[in-house]
Amino acid sequence: MPTASGHTEAIRASQVIDTNVKDRRGNKIGEIEDIMLDKLSNHIMFAVVSFGGFLGVGEKYHPLPWEILNYDEDESAYVVDLTKQQLEAAPADSIEELTSGDGTRYRDLAYDYYKTPRYWDTLSH
């Protein structure tokens, strides 16, 4: 069911963009910059997250499988169970690069890095 903040199983893209991302301790570490959509298979490819203030100036954008972003009502934020060390070693690049090659390069890198099941391997259509 819809909640006061509008974050539910069904969620509008415009409400996701600019939402804060926090760590397990409730510290803000970044925010959702955009959502990459897979027009071909009708899937969400990955969220584009900026951890600039957390990882340092000039940080690039991180592709994150949406499955690892858990919305926390109390925090009004997506919570990720990742350490600074994990994020520093994670796939990241400019937004232009994240979109290049139809996004599959960074999609694959991200799903591998975060060990998320590949939705495109189980497509039945």
- State the Cα–Cα distance between residues 87 and 81, nearest whole angstrom: 10
Please report how many Cα atoms fall inside a 13 Å half-sphere around the Cα of residue 117, on the Cβ side: 5
* 56 part of the interface to a copy of itself, by CB under 8 A: no
Q: Two tokens at 37?
A: 């959509």
Q: What is the DSSP letter of 101?
A: G
Q: Two tokens at 122?
A: 């189980």
* 45 part of the interface to a copy of itself, by CB under 8 A: yes
CA dist list (Å): 30 to 4, 105, 119, 124: 23, 23, 25, 35
Specify the residue for token string 């959502």: 35
Segment contacting a copy of itself by CB under 8 A, of 11-19, 20-28, 51-59, 80-88? 11-19
* 39 part of the interface to a copy of itself, by CB under 8 A: yes
Q: Which of 27, 58, 85, 117 binds a copy of itself (CB under 8 A)?
A: 117
Q: Write the binding mask 13 to 32 for a copy of itself: x where contact by CB under 8 A, - elsewhere.
A: xx-xx---------------
Instruction: Pick between residue 21 and residue 36 the one whose CB is nearest to a copy of itself.
Output: 36
Measure CA 51 to chain center. Answer: 11
Instruction: Pick between residue 43 and residue 60 the one whose CB is nearest to a copy of itself.
Output: 43
The binding site for a copy of itself (CB under 8 A) comprises 1-2, 6, 8-14, 16-17, 34-40, 42-45, 48, 66-67, 71, 95, 99-104, 107, 117, 119, 122, 124-125
